Amino acid sequence: MARRPPPDRLRRARAADAAALARLERRAFVGCYAAHRFSAAQFAAYLARPATLAHVVEQSGRIVAYALGVQGGGSRARGARLYSIAVAPTARRRALGRRLLRAFLAAVRRRGCERASLEVAATNRAAIALFTGHGFVPVRRLPAYYSATTAAIRMRRQLRAAGRRRAPRRR
Ligand X SMILES: CC(C)(COP(=O)(O)OP(=O)(O)OC[C@H]1O[C@@H](n2cnc3c(N)ncnc32)[C@H](O)[C@@H]1OP(=O)(O)O)[C@@H](O)C(=O)NCCC(=O)NCCS
Looking at beta carbons only, is 76 or 99 nearer to ligand X?
99
Closest residue to ligand X using C-beta atoms? 97
Looking at beta carbons only, is 47 or 120 nearer to ligand X?
120
Cα 116 from Cα 158, distance rounded (Å): 7
To the nearest whole angstrom, how small is the minimum distance from the Cβ of residue 109 to ligand X?
20
Q: Per 3-state DSSP, what percentage of the chain is helix, strand, and coil (rounded to 5)?
A: 35, 35, 30
Looking at beta carbons only, is 113 or 131 nearer to ligand X?
131
Looking at beta carbons only, is 47 or 101 nearer to ligand X?
101
Q: Would strands 79-87 and 8-12 be described as parallel, antiparallel, or unpaired?
A: unpaired
To the nearest whole angstrom, how small is the minimum distance from the Cβ of residue 125 to ligand X?
5
Query: What residues contact 28, with CB distance under 8 A and at least 6 apart?
Result: 86, 87, 88, 89
To the nearest whole angstrom, how small is the minimum distance from the Cβ of residue 166 to ligand X?
29
Contact positions vs ligand X (CB under 6 A): 28-29, 85-87, 92-98, 120, 124-127, 129-130, 133
Cα 155 from Cα 117, distance rounded (Å): 6
To the nearest whole angstrom, how small is the minimum distance from the Cβ of residue 130 to ligand X?
3
